[in-house]
Structure 1
């Protein structure tokens, strides 16, 4: 037997890391990479602004002139217009697009790539890390900003609960989608902003079909249905909204896994 054959036969076999352990390992690496003082400060300030403005809106409203239903409508509209339309997609985009996109661009993704781990745990870990950081920055201002805008009138708890469900599930869905976006495009934040502004902001007004392809529509529907407020757009049931947002998350992670299996990392 040749020396090369002998060396190959005696070389240790690298065993693939288990799924849970691999996901945990990748999660720790990714979350350390995406968390920075600058990002937290800037996006936290945006959330703080929403809470402060919500308090101003609630205290400036004249309860004598507005019914409880009107105050709840104002709070839900504020949670929708500032929280679900601005904060949730923007915050999710910043962290999710950076989770694997930045690592690929600066060459550090290769260190995870060379480990004996599957590609699915890496995609799942990136989404989990992004959602972990994004959820408090999205949910807290959306819930409290909208609740403060109702001035705590009777029934305002429904608006807070609707804001909580919509912001939480919306953040998870956007995080999964933008992890995929970070793998597909360089400068993914610019592409994500274009998607948020052009598709979710403008194209959905073209008709019902386009609206059905908007994550925002399903998140807003959850707020509208749970708060029992008509916000003036087509709504879907809570069950349908949950299914679509969950399916979008799963499909995005599946596509991200496929992309990771075919991407060139150097």
Structure 2
């Protein structure tokens, strides 16, 4: 981290009095502001924005190809939902969430700036929540916009395409929140969290889910895909649970990850 940026982080952290406990809400806002500055960089935004733009472009190509087809056997709604699932939920959402969430506390710990927050009378739960909120703030538009636009374009705007877009929006948003919470925890557990996260996304979320219903039940993507399938009213396979159950699981995983991150922060030595 550059010296000016480090100084600005310290200045924000120093706004809380060192002598008095900081309330939970104020502490969360403080941590959010500090960590949001920490994770946002032009390089990350450009690279991940370009990935999202590529998804939108390919979705437009897929939609035009479906329009030009002559066999009449292709369901445009299934094509759009499958594209939102196969490109958005399997690649864009987890990768974008990983990059920002793993860095939220992982980078601050590695470069020594986390100690600035450690010196404040701040609880560990607000720090974990602030980190997750910072990651979600940046990741959410970069996940939702390409997943929704790509899936919608791939339907070629046929009747019912709005439901596909709505399902993609809900699935991408819920998935981004859940992945961000999980990867905040991952950033505290491993030094090279991005590498571990990529391995998890590619080997488990990408491959194991295709093995059947049991594997899907152990995958965040499986529940996000269920949200998409139920709202869009399409059959994406292996979605044997309902919309409410899928949302409940994603929310529960998010909450549990933050609790574990709080516990990990309480046991972490920072110098």
The root-mean-square deviation of aligned C-alpha atoms, in Å, is 1.7
How do 1:227-238 residues align onto structure 2 when only pairs under 5 Å count? 227-238=232-243
Structure 2 residue aligned with 1:95: 100
**For the structure 1 residues 44 and 13, does the alpha-carbon distance in structure 2 shift closer, same or farther, using more than 3 Å as the test?**
closer
For structure 1, the 5+ residue unaligned runs are 1-11
Q: Are 2:149 and 1:144 aligned?
A: yes
For structure 2, the 5+ residue unaligned runs are 1-16
Q: Please, what TM-score do these two structures have when normalized by structure 2? A: 0.90
The offset of 1:246, in angstroms, is: 0.2
Question: Which piece of structure 1 moves more, 201-210 or 183-192?
Answer: 201-210
Does structure 1 retain, via aligned residues, the 8 Å contact 2:144–2:173?
Answer: yes
SS of the equivalent of 2:241 reads coil
Choose from 46, 51, 54 the match for 1:49.
Answer: 54
Question: Which piece of structure 1 moves more, 26-35 or 65-74?
Answer: 65-74
Does structure 1 retain, via aligned residues, the 8 Å contact 2:66–2:74?
Answer: no
Question: Which piece of structure 1 moves more, 38-47 or 235-244?
Answer: 235-244
Provide, for residues 97-139 of structure 1, a one-character-per-residue CA deviation record: whole Å limited to 9, x for no partner: 0000011111110000110010000000000000000000000
Question: Which piece of structure 1 moves more, 149-158 or 34-43?
Answer: 149-158
SS of the equivalent of 1:107 reads coil
Structure 2 residue aligned with 1:105: 110
The offset of 1:255, in angstroms, is: 0.2
Does structure 2 retain, via aligned residues, the 8 Å contact 1:68–1:153?
Answer: no
Structure 2 residue aligned with 1:116: 121
How do 1:80-91 residues align onto structure 2 when only pairs under 5 Å count? 80-91=85-96
User: How many residues matched?
Assistant: 255
SS of the equivalent of 1:62 reads helix
The offset of 1:61, in angstroms, is: 1.9
Larger Rg: 1
The offset of 1:205, in angstroms, is: 4.3
Does structure 2 retain, via aligned residues, the 8 Å contact 1:217–1:235?
Answer: no
Does structure 1 retain, via aligned residues, the 8 Å contact 2:212–2:238?
Answer: no
Q: Are 2:210 and 1:210 aligned?
A: no
Provide, for residues 52-94 of structure 1, a one-character-per-residue CA deviation record: whole Å limited to 9, x for no partner: 1111111222367476980111111111110000000000000
Does structure 2 retain, via aligned residues, the 8 Å contact 1:68–1:155?
Answer: no
Quick one: distance in 1 between partners of 2:145 and 2:21?
39
**For the structure 1 residues 60 and 198, does the alpha-carbon distance in structure 2 shift closer, same or farther, using more than 3 Å as the test?**
closer
Quick one: distance in 2 between partners of 1:34 and 1:128?
12
Quick one: distance in 2 between partners of 1:59 and 1:14?
63
Quick one: distance in 2 between partners of 1:230 and 1:208?
14
Structure 1 residue aligned with 2:6: none
How do 1:1-266 residues align onto structure 2 when only pairs under 5 Å count? 14-62=19-67, 65=70, 70-266=75-271
Does structure 1 retain, via aligned residues, the 8 Å contact 2:101–2:183?
Answer: yes
Provide, for residues 167-222 of structure 1, a one-character-per-residue CA deviation record: whole Å limited to 9, x for no partner: 00000000000000000001100010111122222333455433211100000011
SS of the equivalent of 1:32 reads helix
Question: Which piece of structure 1 moves more, 112-121 or 50-59?
Answer: 50-59
